[in-house]
Amino acid sequence: MTVPQIQQDEIDRAAAAGRGIVKHTPVTTSAALSERTGGHIVLKAENLQRTGSFKIRGAMSKLDALGETARPGVTAGSAGNHAQALAFAARHAGVPCEIYVPANAPISKMAACRGYGASIVEGGDSLDEAVVAARERAQEAGMVFCHPYDDVAVVAGQATLGRELIADVPDLRRVIIPLGGGGLAAGTAIALKHHDPSIQVIGVQVAACAPYANQPPRLGPVVTLADGIAVKRPGEITRPLIEHWLDDIVVVDEESVADAMVLLMERAKLFVEGAGAVGVAALLSERVAPARNGSTCIVLSGGNVDLGVVPGLIRRHETTAGRRLIVFAKISDRPGGLARLLTLFAEQGANLIEVEHVRDGVDLQVRETGVQAVLEVKGPAHAADVIGAAHAAGYDVSPVSRP
């Protein structure tokens, strides 16, 4: 298989194209991850990039490479980071942009694209259908279809991230990077390996969709927290680049991605989407070890988190950490019965989050009712104390296991 050539002057051109628009995002040390893994871990915060992800690098590079041929406009099939980046780059270049999205695409992301001046068109029930519609529209109207990753100009744009790592992390020995279509991982690896071939680059995929790990394409929609890298088929350009330039590819599961997202929020104060957090997930789950010497950098590729998933992530984390206690109790179905139980919980220092009566599907006496309460506690020992106090007061209370 022929490996496409991405020359250094192409990366120079991409860097110039993004100057003044693409942010040189910060690299910050993670004390929490360094202590946990025994290595020196730094984070490349592309979640703070303009439009919320690294994609603006490739989009600016592509529009610059198109030059006057982009005047009739550009199209894309996307419902995520590529759409927002292309819309922003098109506005900057002063050319029309039409984004084709699948049905039920996230409202917030469509609103962001409209805010950048793009026209949003519903293009079918799936992302594949939206891409087909965008290609057809480009051909009919003389516009240019812009692929999110399988394009030499896009890969050159993503390579500018590697250039920044070279400048900011002089002792860089290993880079852990999300791997979806492959544009970011390939471009970054090319820039780093040209500078120092001994720097290791490790791509991370999510188990729900891992084509570079030789997983066969799945039929239908892929449901994963890391939807930004849920690409079913490697690109014709990016696949040989990934196979040639990356040192290893690993796969992480959904639970480790959820843990990584919460750790980044709680300890690093960084809001990172699932696709952007897979590198941290790989480190936490020991799929990748840090470099023995020098720095290991994890690329946080994006921060466009679907806000709807955040409450569930927090609840899951609080429960697994022992700071959320769910109990079921049988109490007297008379006035004051519930109040007395809740008072007991309060006296033990447990904070009530929610409570509901449960009368169906449980074995209750005639004047008895079931109550399920969700309590915020200090940890497992405090939870045991709360349940013990309820038992001592004569209540039939038991903890409830719930993910």
Burial class (CB in 10 A: 0-12, 13-18, 19+), 24: middle
Residue type, 71: R
Gap between the Cα atoms of 146 and 75, Å rounded: 6
Gap between the Cα atoms of 177 and 368, Å rounded: 56
In the residue annotation, 398 being an active-site residue is answered as no
- Decide the pairing of beta strands 74-77 and 97-101: parallel
CA neighbor of 95 nearest in space, from 46, 141, 162: 141
- Decide the pairing of beta strands 40-45 and 74-77: unpaired
Q: Evaluate whether 295 touches 307 at the Cβ level (below 8 Å).
A: no
Q: Which of 30, 61, 256, 301 is catalytic?
A: 301
Q: Is the dihedral of CA 369, 375, 378, 380 positive or negative?
A: positive
Gap between the Cα atoms of 80 and 85, Å rounded: 9
In the residue annotation, 301 being an active-site residue is answered as yes
Gap between the Cα atoms of 291 and 297, Å rounded: 10
Gap between the Cα atoms of 226 and 208, Å rounded: 9
E strands of 333-385, at which residues? 351-358, 368-376
Q: Which of 55, 109, 193, 330 is catalytic?
A: 55
Q: Centre a 10 Å sphere on the Cβ of residue 403 and count the other Cβ atoms it contains.
A: 8
Helix or strand holding residue 100 (H, E): strand 97-101
Q: Evaluate whether 205 touches 232 at the Cβ level (below 8 Å).
A: no
Q: Evaluate whether 99 touches 75 at the Cβ level (below 8 Å).
A: yes
Q: Evaluate whether 387 touches 351 at the Cβ level (below 8 Å).
A: no
Q: Phi, psi (5° rounding) for residue 169?
A: -125, 85
Angle, helices 183-195/8-18, rounded to nearest 10 degrees: 120
Gap between the Cα atoms of 321 and 319, Å rounded: 5
What distances in angstroms separate CA 77 from CA 54, 86, 89, 90, 128, one per listed residue? 18, 11, 15, 15, 8
Enumerate the active-site residues. Answer: 55, 301
